[in-house]
Amino acid sequence: MECPRCQGSLEELSLGDVSTVTCPHCSFADVPVDHVSENDEPESWRDAFNRFYEDNTVREDATEH
Ligand SMILES: [Zn+2]
């Protein structure tokens, strides 16, 4: 799957029963669920996923270091 904006390869993310794709190269985010709000804010999805992963990463790092 390629990014429609920069043709880079997209990252697929899923959280529970919701999934989306984001582009790590240009921060494009596609939200193919009916959760899309009228505020054109694709960044909020990425932020939410980042927060989710950071939470887990921080906890794992803390135990290892
Ligand atoms: Zn892109």
Q: What is the pLDDT of residues 1-31, one digit of tens each?
A: 899 899 999 998 887 888 888 899 998 887 6
- Ligand 1 centroid to Cα of residue 23, in Å, is 5
- Ligand 1 centroid to Cα of residue 51, in Å, is 21
* Per-residue tokens: 37: 């709000």
- Distance between start and end Cα atoms, the chain: 36
- Ligand 1 centroid to Cα of residue 47, in Å, is 16
Give CA–CA dist 34/18, Å, rounded.
10
Residue 54: the pLDDT is 80
The pTM of this model reads: 0.41
DSSP string for 10-49: PEEEEETTEEEEE-TTT--EE--STT--SS--THHHHHHH
* Per-residue tokens: 60: 């794992």
- Ligand 1 centroid to Cα of residue 1, in Å, is 11
Residue 9: the pLDDT is 94
- Ligand 1 centroid to Cα of residue 10, in Å, is 7
